[in-house]
Amino acid sequence: MKKYTAYAKVNIFLKITGMRENYHEILSRFVLVNNLYDELYFTAKESEKFEIIGDFSCNTEQNTIHKAYIALQESIQSSALERLMKTHAINVDKRIPAFAGLGGGSSDAATYLKMCNEVLHLGLSVDELAIIGLKVGADVPFFIYGYQSANVSGIGEIVEAYEEESLEIQTTTPDIEISTPKVYQAFRENFYKELHSDEALELREMPSKEILARYDIERANDLFTPALQLYPRLKEAYTHGWYFSGSGSSYFKVEGL
């Protein structure tokens, strides 16, 4: 069976721009990490139960791939999709660390949706897949579009390609399992501030390397300080010149800086 690649991502910057009901609106530069990825493929099975094969700490119902299946089936009501998942398991060669701010779960979900669209000839457009993916998680649309670099805004549904040179990115992930909802809650309660429109415009247009040259780790990512408050061990793992991805716990640096 054909293998499909689900790349990790880092957030060059991540700024909170406001609130929409219970969701935080963001502006962020997402960049794919070309040297870190999971691989997904279908394998035949005998049991009709939905099955994911891979190194996951969550149960099947909590897995983003299963959530993507439910969202897709609710959208298209496909007997072919149901039949596929009764006869085949999703096999995941897992390399992206979980709870790490690298988007592994979202990337897996997006890749699964694209796999089903291709294998079953569903004919869904990228925009249609992104709408379905957003039901699974805020980061999924970025991975659906597959841009190397993009400005992501709203609650994750607005993904705009950003043209720049490909970046060589190194990541390191300390053994600290971080809760994204708790980090956002700490930000909201203790550090809440909204991005000024002038700075937002500047960040949208500025190349990633220039952003990292100008911004330190705290200024680049609004979630670093609340994450540090909740998980003090993050300070032990920090090395000067590295940056924080998403809500963590991963740090990254770009070659040449």
pLDDT of residue 99: 86
pLDDT of residue 151: 98
One-letter amino acid at 202 equals E
* Domain range list for the chain: 4-161, 169-254
Q: Report the alpha-carbon distance of residue 37 to residue 96 in Å, rounded.
A: 6
pLDDT of residue 57: 80
Please name every residue paired with 161 in a beta bridge, in sequence order, or none if there are none: 150
Known catalytic residue at 139: yes
Give this prediction's pTM. Answer: 0.95
H or E stretch covering 180? helix 180-186
Say how many Å lie between the first and final Cα of the chain, rounded. Answer: 40
pLDDT of residue 256: 81
pLDDT of residue 107: 98
pLDDT of residue 257: 77
Which CATH code, of 1.20.1250.20, 3.30.70.890, 3.30.365.10, 3.30.930.10, is assigned to 169-254? 3.30.70.890
52 near 66, Cβ under 8 Å?
yes
Select which of 38, 108, 139, 222 is catalytic: 139
Select which of 3, 9, 94, 235 is catalytic: 9
CATH code of the region 4-161: 3.30.230.10
Mean pLDDT, each 10-residue run in order, the chain (257 residues): 95 92 90 98 96 90 96 97 97 94 97 98 98 96 98 96 96 94 93 88 97 96 97 95 95 91
